[in-house]
Homo-oligomer: A and B are copies of this chain.
Amino acid sequence: MSPSAKRRAATDQVSDLIASRLSVYLRCLSLLDQAGVCTVSSSALAHQFHLNAAQIRKDLAYFGEFGVRGVGYSVLELQRHLRTILGLDRRLNVAIIGAGNLGLALADYPGFRQEGFNIVALFDTLPEKVGKRTRGGVPIHHVKELRRVVSRNHITIGVVAVPANAAQLVANNIVSTGIKAILNFSPGTLRVPPGVKLKNADLTVSLESLSFFLARGDAGEEK
């Protein structure tokens, strides 16, 4: 079967788990690249980063034949492939709604910029915040400007960083601008129409799971 035949149609539903792992692989490769490594085998990757070799191969093979049998994967080449697959070959503009502690911190978080994400705008409704900028220089707009700013700046990802009671309203607002990807930090379950990808990153849920494992006394590694 030819490599191109392997690339799946855009309609195939790929699980969230695979998407997250690809992102992890990319970060592992960056580390190897920095360390001057040119070629790596799936088992070397697996061993170094506590992953499963077969799973790495399967995940990668899903998108094409990137390896060379008997040799392994070219670190540089695989990095490039993963960046393309993850859509990181172009810069992505991100808006954060909610200029509270969390929103402000996310806006200036250096990790995002580093990986190719531009946080181009914050939004809030409080008059004392609107018009200001974060320490890192991200401008804070009024939420009513959302649609205008989104289309002018080609924003493709919206981040919800408002309290729970406002979250669904904000999400609807984001969806109405045509944005197709939402990262939600607020607690509770948001509803978005089909065609819009929602990812939850509720920090309290994470802490409460830890609490749960502490209470039971059984631990173990996370996947």
Contacts and interface: CB of A to CB of B under 8 A. Distances in A.
A194 interface: yes
Contact of A101 (B28, B108, B195): B108
B106 A26 contact: no
Given A117-B211, A195-B219, 18 more contacts: A11-B218, A19-B209, A20-B205, A22-B208, A23-B208, A26-B208, A49-B189, A86-B211, A86-B212, A88-B211, A92-B207, A92-B211, A104-B105, A112-B207, A157-B210, A192-B221, A194-B219, A197-B219
Interface of A: 10-14, 16, 19-20, 22-24, 26-28, 31, 49-51, 84-88, 92, 94, 101-102, 104-106, 108-112, 115, 117, 156-157, 164, 180-183, 187-189, 191-192, 194-201, 203-223
